Structure 1
Amino acid sequence: MFTIDWKPNKSSPVPLHIQITDFIKEKITNGEWTVGYKLPPQRILSKALGVNRSTVVTAYEELTAEGLIEGKSGSGTRVINNTWNLLATTAPPNWSSYVNLGIHKPNLPTIQEINQAEFIPGIIRLGTGELSPNLIPSTSLKKVFNKLSSREITHGYQEPKGLLPLREQVADYLKTIGIQTSPSSILIVSGALQAIQLISVGLLHKGSIVLTEKPSYLHSLNVFQSAGMNLIGVPLDKEGIQISQIPNYKRQHRAALLYTIPTFHNPTGTLMTVERRNQLLNICQQEQLPLIEDDVYRELWLDENPPIPMKASDNNGLVLYLGSLSKSLSPGLRIGWIVGPEPVIEHLADIKMQTDYGSSSISQWVAEALLSSGLYYQHLSEVRKELRTRRDFTLNTLNKYFSDLAVWDKPTGGFYIWLHLLPSISIRKLFESALSEGILLNPGNVYDNTAEQYLRISYSYASLPNIEDSLRRLSNIVKTITK
């Protein structure tokens, strides 16, 4: 998806094609669109600018005649020169080649489209995995900010593992869910995603195999792959990851570790049973297979408390436990934690210091105040109530519009409903058709390339009227495509 923050002035006496030509020249001259940059197709640019395609065609022709761009069949139109280079004897660097050779792989194309489309005014984000702005405790946050403004707090860098008072509060919280640990075994990170990045570069070597559920949120990222790792999916059923296959997968692929989201799994919403958790921990202990337990959705239970974490039963330091406030409190706070053996935590803390010199001090103080004051726990009670209402409303709406088009399970917590479409349909065509009507979807194939008939539906972000409106229109789109 191409976005642009400029549009031609249709009331100007300057012809539209000249305005567009000058705009692109400025982008090239300023070095924003460098040699090798691929310009958007004429159809896409004309739509973004709100002009006829012929206007863009004329602008491209003039830029081509001036030797600034070149169009080739099959590879699109690219910048081949800039106005300074026309006068110079040496060519400027081709930054596109650097981008392509960089170590960190780009997001999947669909994920890039989703990330950009989320900021289109008026878009209905039907798959977004975060709390609605209306569910973020603004009043509590203001109380905390006011309280901190009158306290003496440190605004400089914190020690490598993070703010000690915050780690003490996290240790106290962990005790309430069965995990006995000390602040020295906790590393404060900027969300669970950074925890995964630190683990990938700090504990694994290039070529390592990581086992995870299939489907899994991890498959929508290139975090491990960018560090030279490979993901292998293990099938998932209604009780969680199918542990009977893990020994074979471990030996066949020489897997280095296993990553799991046992509590309100992303994207399926599955809650791993107590029995399956015990079995998984036992299998991993037998196989000496380290386990990453990503538990960021734990506090978003809607019907009853979920089983205690596997980390609570880990007596051998096998489990690295991940928690976060991003899902349950606010994505903008960017505070999470890793719990593990002290040598591992110290090593990851050292790597974190090399990358960002510690998470935001202000965010850490805010998180500490929310936990120590009890405001966080008050918020959890309120947000569960709201999410329960949203879940039930979404399920009723699905029954109304999708009863003959899809099947799904009722989640008992988290954000997601894993919708299995019954008609055979092009998920790409559905994505594009919905987007053209202002509905942003999360297709299942970004979490598992074989999940072509699935959508991740979220009830946490869009308003209830928007959820009903978008699901009603989406059902009509599905019916139109399958005719």
Structure 2
Amino acid sequence: MWQLNSDSKLPIYLQIVDLIETKIMNGELLPEEKLPPERKLAALFGVNRSTVVRALDELTSRAVIVRKQGSGTIVNAEKWGLFAGQSTNWRHYLTQGGFTPTVPYVRQTGIIEKHHSDKIIDASTGELPLEMTPKLETPSRSWQSFIAEEQLEDAAGYQPLRETIEKQMRVAYDLNVRPEQILITSGAQQALFLITQCLLKPGDAVAIESPSYFYSLSLFQSAGLRIFALPMDSEGVIISELKDLYHKHRVKMVFVNPTFQNPTGLVMSLQRRKELVKVCAHLQIPIVEDDPFSELAALDENIPVPLKQLDTDNVLYIGSLSKIMGSTTRIGWLIGPAAVIERLALARNEMDFGLSIFPQVLASAVLNTTGYDAHVKQLQQILMERRDFLIRALEETLPNELIYNKPAGGFHLWISLPMEFRSIRDFDIFANNDLLIMPGFLFGVKETIIRVTYARLNQKEAFQVAQIIKKIVTEN
């Protein structure tokens, strides 16, 4: 396990550095896992202790490990506040340059689901199952007709689709925007990528909700940004905490998911939304509002207006079809000031990230069919039923033992367990019991909390999930 490459021409201490970094990248060493003591590592490598100390000093300077007096050396589990800016260093080209690899836990979960889908219950994937994607007819078109539609496309995307989104935003949210304020993207993550790469610079501080799925995205650290936790209460982000972060770290941008927040399902109150946009406007901090779930409100709930409606100038709004039509749709949009949209559109073209005309034409056609509205209403109904299946199963199986709030929409239930895990590896117990979930550490929290995606669970599977959780809780 701790064997060095005898063919390497690097100095021994750098070989040790590379070995430990590789083990972390591959998931052999997990966040918060303790490394062997210095003397033991020296013995394992057959080197002087001073060589090991030099290697650990190098890893500490990069914030890869944390060394605490009396506690030993552990793999750093925190992203909060770290600067992950990269320097030109060919030795680390594959492991540190460019885009940060997928979190090992997520990668391993995907492997398990792929190879054992027949017996595994997947309550981790935040995507629509196939049976809930729309059963709509797409228009029959010739290849030439698709090519002809390219005449209606510019750097910001297919004009008819942008006009359709403009109309939808006006009807749904009373939000008046112009087509030149809309950038079509290949999903929400491309919008986030363009924002982090083109509007921010390495070393900039940004605030994200805690907990948040933003925490698990590699693109923030790949852009060299320092992310800081913005705590929430039952109404949303705590404004006083945002002010403190701004004054301590000069926060340049705030990223929020105010409606059916991922992973908590929380809906930020209207009063808190007003306070947030007011404070950010005063401090001149742009807000990025990620809003993939608004159309999926439970039928008996009304949700507050988007932040974008409260401040059209200072909010960048991200929408997506992935939660309505399936992740393979790969259609999202970014709404912002025309100058910002133009800058990001040109930057994307320079990166050769142009969009295919095919999904844009099809998305525009589907959004303009009467069947689309019927699909959304049916999807709302199914999600509400599946939410209730899971909550009923948990209440019957583990009455008064779990802590969670009933979400008014979205896909997820955020569940606090009545137990304590000492290590990230302890979460493997769920996969060992044929249940895939998303543990809290992926969202930036250390408590024993899990995100269960009910969108993928029928009634039978919901009760199986409850039984597995009960087994884990009672046996630990």
CA distance in 1 between counterparts of 2:237 and 2:182 reads 27
**How far has the Cα of 1:171 moved from its partner?**
0.4
Q: Provide the secondary structure at the position in 2 that maps to 1:332.
A: helix
| Aligned residue in 2 for 1:59 | none
| Aligned residue in 2 for 1:468 | 463
Could you tell me whether the CA contact under 8 Å between 2:239 and 2:275 is conserved in 1? yes
| Aligned residue in 2 for 1:126 | 123
| Aligned residue in 1 for 2:411 | 415
Do structure 1's residue 370 and structure 2's residue 363 form an aligned pair?
Answer: no
| Aligned residue in 2 for 1:117 | 112
Per-residue CA deviations over 1:129-165 (Å, capped at 9, x if unaligned) read 111211111x20xx11x43459923278642100000
2:282 counterpart letter in structure 1:
Q
| Aligned residue in 1 for 2:156 | 161
Do structure 1's residue 324 and structure 2's residue 347 form an aligned pair?
Answer: no
Q: Provide the secondary structure at the position in 1 that maps to 2:431.
A: helix
1:129 counterpart letter in structure 2:
G
Do structure 1's residue 428 and structure 2's residue 448 form an aligned pair?
Answer: no
CA distance in 1 between counterparts of 2:205 and 2:108 reads 28
Per-residue CA deviations over 1:382-408 (Å, capped at 9, x if unaligned) read 100000100111110111223243211
Q: TM-score, normalised by structure 1?
A: 0.76
Could you tell me whether the CA contact under 8 Å between 1:126 and 1:458 is conserved in 2? yes
| Aligned residue in 2 for 1:312 | 309
CA distance in 2 between counterparts of 1:360 and 1:217 reads 28
1:101-112 superposed matches below 5 A: 101-112=96-107
CA distance in 2 between counterparts of 1:205 and 1:256 reads 10
- Ranges in structure 2 where 5+ consecutive residues have no aligned partner: 1-17, 29-42, 47-89
CA distance in 2 between counterparts of 1:389 and 1:232 reads 36
| Aligned residue in 2 for 1:298 | 294
| Aligned residue in 2 for 1:340 | 336
**How far has the Cα of 1:478 moved from its partner?**
2.4
2:247 to 225, 238, 251: 251
CA distance in 2 between counterparts of 1:295 and 1:199 reads 15
2:165 to 166, 170, 181: 170
Do structure 1's residue 273 and structure 2's residue 273 form an aligned pair?
Answer: no
Could you tell me whether the CA contact under 8 Å between 1:114 and 1:442 is conserved in 2? no
| Aligned residue in 1 for 2:50 | none
**How far has the Cα of 1:358 moved from its partner?**
1.9
CA distance in 2 between counterparts of 1:136 and 1:342 reads 33
Per-residue CA deviations over 1:254-310 (Å, capped at 9, x if unaligned) read 101000000000000000111111111111111111000111111110032311111
| Aligned residue in 2 for 1:92 | none
- The two structures, once aligned, show a CA RMSD in angstroms of 2.6
| Aligned residue in 2 for 1:204 | 200
Do structure 1's residue 260 and structure 2's residue 253 form an aligned pair?
Answer: no
- Give 1 or 2 for the bigger CA radius of gyration: 1
**How far has the Cα of 1:244 moved from its partner?**
2.0
1:345-360 superposed matches below 5 A: 345-360=341-356
Could you tell me whether the CA contact under 8 Å between 1:160 and 1:357 is conserved in 2? no
2:204 counterpart letter in structure 1:
S
CA distance in 2 between counterparts of 1:211 and 1:155 reads 44
- Ranges in structure 1 where 5+ consecutive residues have no aligned partner: 1-34, 45-71, 76-94
Could you tell me whether the CA contact under 8 Å between 1:215 and 1:447 is conserved in 2? yes
Could you tell me whether the CA contact under 8 Å between 2:424 and 2:441 is conserved in 1? no
CA distance in 1 between counterparts of 2:143 and 2:371 reads 18
**How far has the Cα of 1:74 moved from its partner?**
8.2
| Aligned residue in 1 for 2:395 | 399
Q: TM-score, normalised by structure 2?
A: 0.78
Identity of aligned residues (%): 33
The 3 A distance-change label for structure 1 pair 74 and 474 is farther
Do structure 1's residue 457 and structure 2's residue 476 form an aligned pair?
Answer: no
**How far has the Cα of 1:429 moved from its partner?**
4.6
Could you tell me whether the CA contact under 8 Å between 1:126 and 1:467 is conserved in 2? no
CA distance in 1 between counterparts of 2:102 and 2:23 reads 19
Could you tell me whether the CA contact under 8 Å between 2:260 and 2:266 is conserved in 1? yes
Per-residue CA deviations over 1:314-366 (Å, capped at 9, x if unaligned) read 14x11000000011221100000000001100111112112344222111111
Could you tell me whether the CA contact under 8 Å between 1:178 and 1:309 is conserved in 2? no
1:154 counterpart letter in structure 2:
I
The 3 A distance-change label for structure 1 pair 399 and 427 is farther
Could you tell me whether the CA contact under 8 Å between 2:403 and 2:417 is conserved in 1? yes
CA distance in 2 between counterparts of 1:170 and 1:455 reads 34
CA distance in 1 between counterparts of 2:331 and 2:227 reads 26
**How far has the Cα of 1:187 moved from its partner?**
0.2
CA distance in 1 between counterparts of 2:91 and 2:456 reads 36
| Aligned residue in 2 for 1:91 | none
| Aligned residue in 1 for 2:53 | none
Could you tell me whether the CA contact under 8 Å between 1:259 and 1:293 is conserved in 2? yes
CA distance in 1 between counterparts of 2:294 and 2:276 reads 18
